[in-house]
């Protein structure tokens, strides 16, 4: 697993996006733009190098700066069925943390967890 940190996804308006349609639109636009940047880098990403990378812009070019970070694990048992993410078909990106998908013919939410 590789987590890619894009600074524009951590917008100050994020905590109030449900209350302000303009902030929500701005966040969604920034998220989609950063997602497009990451998609253009897919052929160059080294998923085995580290577990964390920062999306950076240098001289108009996009790239990743890799770093190893400690990813904390959940110490208590989960309260929902654990499904391997490879078995889920993502159908909708809601935010950078929340998605919707299909598993075994069932629709459901796919939270971003590091387990």
Neighbours of 91 (CB within 10 A): 12
Element (H, E) at 61: strand 61-67
Write the pLDDT tens digit of every residue in 29-40: 888 888 899 999
Q: What is the DSSP letter of 51?
A: S
Element (H, E) at 31: helix 21-40
Residues 17, 25: Cα–Cα separation, whole Å: 8
Q: Is the pLDDT of residue 14 over 70?
A: no
Write the pLDDT tens digit of every residue in 54-107: 999 888 889 999 999 887 776 766 666 778 888 889 888 877 677 888 888 888
Q: What is the DSSP letter of 24?
A: H
């Amino acid at each position: 697993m590789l987590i890619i940190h894009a600074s524009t996804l951590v917008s100050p308006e994020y905590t109030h996006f449900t209350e302000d349609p303009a902030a929500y639109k701005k966040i969604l636009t920034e998220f989609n733009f950063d997602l497009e940047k990451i998609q253009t880098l897919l052929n160059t990403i080294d998923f085995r190098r580290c577990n964390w990378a920062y999306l950076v812009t240098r001289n108009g070019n996009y790239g990743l700066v890799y770093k190893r970070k400690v990813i904390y694990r959940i110490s208590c048992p989960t309260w929902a069925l654990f499904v391997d993410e490879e078995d889920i078909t993502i159908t909708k990106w809601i935010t950078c943390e929340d998605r919707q998908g299909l598993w075994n013919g069932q629709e459901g939410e796919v939270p971003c967890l590091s387990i």
